Amino acid sequence: MTPVANPWLSRRVLNYAHQGGAREAPSNTLLAMRQALDAGAVALELDLHATADRKVVV
């Protein structure tokens, strides 16, 4: 049987920004997202909520 490479054990570290990197700017703000990207983040995570009138807000 041929061994299968484990995709979770790559040598490359991926930088994901939780709430846009909330330590550098207020959570879930455009400023936090921009700073996270400038710092090398490859993905952004933010909190979305639904309002009573069915709109999505950050």
Which residue range forms the structural domain that includes residue 29?
Answer: 15-57
Count the domains in the chain.
1
| 33, part of any domain | yes
Tell me the whole-structure pTM to 2 decimals. 0.63
pLDDT at residue 54 above 80? yes
Segment 4-51, tens digit of pLDDT: 777 677 667 778 888 887 677 898 889 999 999 998 888 888 889 999
| 1, part of any domain | no
Residue 58 has a pLDDT of 86
**Where residue 1 falls among pLDDT bands split at 50, 70, 90?**
low
Under DSSP, is residue 49 helix (H, G, I), strand (E, B) or coil? strand
| 25, part of any domain | yes
| 23, part of any domain | yes
| 36, part of any domain | yes
| 7, part of any domain | no
Query: What stretch of H or E contains 43?
Result: strand 43-45
Rounded distance, CA 6 to CA 20, Å? 28
